[in-house]
């Protein structure tokens, strides 16, 4: 997949992380059915690879289903085998080189200017600004001065209001976990998840020409 194009088009990456595999799968499928095209299943989840396999079988190839918190070369290979079409890392890690060997795009975690350079020169399709909550939207704006062409995706502490702020300051997309997923990964209300998904999709939508965002 072309991860960079997908991030620019959809502008929202949902992050699913939980200890109940069946609830995690239901969360992924509900997010997809609600119109969210990019969904990451964190490998810190219980039976994450099983969730990825079952989600891919249910969704087919239409959706951008990725694996998150991928740190090692072995994890990268396992995620690819389970059906992930892109990888997400919290930091610069050996998984970046393995993903390149496998031909998988990576959203690579970085925080400092040095790490941003290392991520981009290491072949990352985009930079996951993590944890974004450390500096907030103003830090993203400061980073974009020396890195105006770098595609940034803030992750960490991104609620609906912050999502809009980050996008207004030049992020190509935002990654959102608990503010979007809520208690669904613990078997919570899927109707409430659908409403939160609609709210985030409205916040991250590109405004029509001449219209307000």
The two tokens of residue 23 are 């609830």
Say which of 40, 74, 81, 98 is annotated catalytic.
Answer: 40
126-129: strand order across its sheet: 152-154, 126-129, 106-110, 87-88, 64-68, 38-42, 12-16, 174-176
Q: Is 40 a catalytic residue?
A: yes
27 phi, psi to nearest 5 deg? -65, -45
3-state SS class at 197? helix
Strand ranges, E, within 77-164: 87-88, 106-110, 126-129, 152-154
Say which of 81, 98, 115, 128 is annotated catalytic.
Answer: 128
Q: Measured between alpha carbons, how far is 88 from 152 in angstroms, rounded to an integer?
A: 13
The residue assigned the tokens 């200017």 is 113
The residue assigned the tokens 């890195």 is 147
In contact, 65 and 36? CB cutoff 8 Å: no
Q: Is 98 a catalytic residue?
A: no
Q: Measured between alpha carbons, how far is 101 from 108 in angstroms, rounded to an integer?
A: 15
Ramachandran region, residue 162 (left: φ > 0; alpha: ψ -120 to 50; beta: rest) = alpha
Q: How many C-alpha atoms does 18 have within 13 Å on its Cβ side?
A: 25
Return the active site residues: 40, 128
């Amino acid at each position: 997949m072309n991860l960079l194009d997908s991030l620019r088009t959809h502008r929202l990456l949902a992050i699913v992380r939980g200890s109940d595999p069946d609830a995690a799968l239901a969360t992924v499928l509900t997010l997809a059915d609600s119109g969210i095209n990019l969904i990451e299943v964190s490998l810190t989840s219980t039976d994450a690879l099983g969730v990825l396999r079952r989600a891919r079988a249910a969704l087919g190839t239409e959706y951008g289903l990725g694996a998150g918190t991928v740190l090692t070369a072995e994890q990268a290979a396992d995620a690819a085998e389970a059906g992930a079409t892109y990888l997400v890392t919290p930091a610069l890690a050996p998984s970046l080189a393995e993903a390149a060997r496998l031909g998988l795009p990576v959203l690579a975690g970085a925080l400092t200017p040095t790490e941003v350079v290392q991520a981009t020169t290491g072949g990352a399709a985009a930079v996951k600004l993590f944890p974004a909550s450390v500096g907030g939207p103003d830090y993203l704006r400061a980073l974009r001065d020396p890195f105006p062409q770098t595609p940034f995706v803030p992750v960490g502490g991104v609620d609906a209001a912050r999502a809009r702020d980050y996008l207004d300051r030049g992020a190509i997309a935002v990654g959102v976990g608990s503010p979007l997923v809520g208690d669904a990964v613990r078997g919570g209300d899927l109707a409430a998840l659908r409403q939160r998904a609609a709210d985030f999709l409205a916040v991250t939508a590109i405004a029509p020409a001449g219209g307000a965002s």
